[in-house]
Amino acid sequence: MGNKKMTPAQEQYKKLEQKHETKRPVLKNCLKAFLVGGIICVIGQAITYFYIYFFHFTEQTAGNPTVATMIFISMLLTGFGVYDHIGQFAGAGSAVPVTGFGNSVISAAIEHRTEGFVLGVGGNMFKLAGSVILFGVFSAFVVALIKTLLTMWGVL
Amino acid sequence: MLPMFFWAFVVGGLICVIGQLMFDVVKMTPGHTMSTLVVAGAVLDGLGLYEPLMDFAGAGATIPITSFGNSLVHGALQEAEQHGLVGVLTGMFEITSSGISAAVIFGFIGALLFKPKG
């Protein structure tokens, strides 16, 4: 990245840095992510069945209350400082599920409460999750627009 | 019921492995990884591939953040079927509303209840 204009000294330093950089244990990290991510999804599946059997949601609609419940659980885990520990162990395993999205919102909200509720909590809540919402909404807009136009023109 | 749990575990785990590979191998920041996964979910739904995955893996496909992109497209398309192009705008948050509302509400409750550590 940006290695166009590097002085010889900088290049030497980069080589030295790469030699001493700890290699990331990719395979081990992936296994941990797989395990924790899988377990979170199994918990989600259990909650989905709970909503299907007790609140008469269908397989298609049960996803919505499940997501909300998972975010609620993630609030408790974040508040008590447990989610940080899970995150250190699991990496993407706890970041990719929707609980990670919840965690990023809630931890930002808690972290900035010392700056006040309006400017601190309100202003920083979506500091990390904002990019997910932005790119999600914009890409969804483009995809849905293309698909709707193609349907209208009778291509699909 | 039991195979559903198994496939939820496997598919959900695999999506997390993809995220981990983006962290470790492509060396993306968590923000970039999540944004890419959401866009991937939206595109997959546009191609009609995410729905079958959800039928197959249940929560393994609905819990990872990719489903956020999928639900956005889904809501927009549902509304677009009834109201045409305007529906793409008005229906966008139809399905994801619960996730966003939950994040906002519980985020605020969390900030009221808990004090930052360290």
Nearest-CA distance from A99 to chain B in Å? 8
Phi, psi angles (nearest 5°) of residue A155: -75, -40
Spatial neighbors of B58 by CB under 8 A, at least 6 apart, are A45, A48, A59, B4, B7, B8
Residues 6+ apart with CB under 8 A from B46: A143, A144, A146, A147, B73
Q: What count of other Cβ atoms lies within 10 Å of the Cβ of residue A19?
A: 7
Chains A & B: contacts with CB separation below 8 Å: 270
Q: Which residues of chain B have pLDDT under 50?
A: none
Which tens digit of pLDDT belongs to each residue from A61-79? Answer: 888 899 999 999 999 999 9
At A25, list the tokens.
């244990």
Q: Give the integer Cα–Cα distance in Å for B102 and B73.
A: 20
Please compute Rg for chain A using Cα positions. Answer: 21
> In a 10 Å sphere around its CB, with 0-12 CB exposed, 13-18 middle and 19+ buried, how is residue A92 labelled?
buried
Tell me the pLDDT band of A4, cut-offs 50, 70 and 90.
Answer: low
**Contacts B68 to A, Cβ<8 Å:** 98, 101, 132, 136
Residue B64's DSSP bridge partners are A97
For A131, the closest chain B residue by CA position comes to B35
Say if residue A138's pLDDT is above 90. Answer: yes
Give the number of domains in chain B.
1
| 3-state SS assignment for residue B64 | strand
Interface confidence (ipTM) of the complex: 0.91
Task: Name residue, tokens 């079927």.
Answer: B81
Question: Which of A50, A126, A139, A153 is the best mutation test for B, with the most CBs of B within 10 A?
Answer: A139
pLDDT at A61: 85
CA distance A123 to chain B (A): 12
Closest of B11, B59, B108, B42 to residue A52, by C-alpha? B59
Residues in B closer than 8 angstroms to A143, CB to CB, are 42-43, 45-46, 73
pLDDT of residue A64: 87
B77:A105 CB<8 A: no
Task: Give phi and psi for A6, each to the nearest 5.
Answer: -120, 130
- Summarised one tens digit per residue, pLDDT across range A11-31 is 888 888 888 877 778 899 999
Is residue B74 one of the residues assigned to a domain? yes
Is residue B46 one of the residues assigned to a domain? yes
CB atoms within 10 A of CB B84: 12
Q: What is the CA radius of gyration of chain B?
A: 16
Assign 3-class secondary structure to chain A.
Answer: CCCCCCCHHHHHHHHHHHHHCCCCCHHHHHHHHHHHHHHHHHHHHHHHHHHHHHCCCCCCCCHHHHHHHHHHHHHHHHHCCHHHHHHHHHCHHHHCEHHHHHHHHHHHHHHCHHHCHHHHHHHHCCCCCHHHHHHHHHHHHHHHHHHHHHHHCCCC
Mean of the per-residue pLDDT values for chain A? 89
B113/A contact by beta carbon, under 8 A: yes
Which structural domain range is residue B48 located in? 2-113
Q: Is residue B38 part of a domain?
A: yes
Does B118 reside within a domain? no
Give the gap in angstroms from C-alpha B25 to the nearest C-alpha of chain A: 8
Q: Name chain B contacts of A111, Cβ cutoff 8 Å.
A: 116
Average pLDDT for residues A88-116, to the nearest whole number? 91
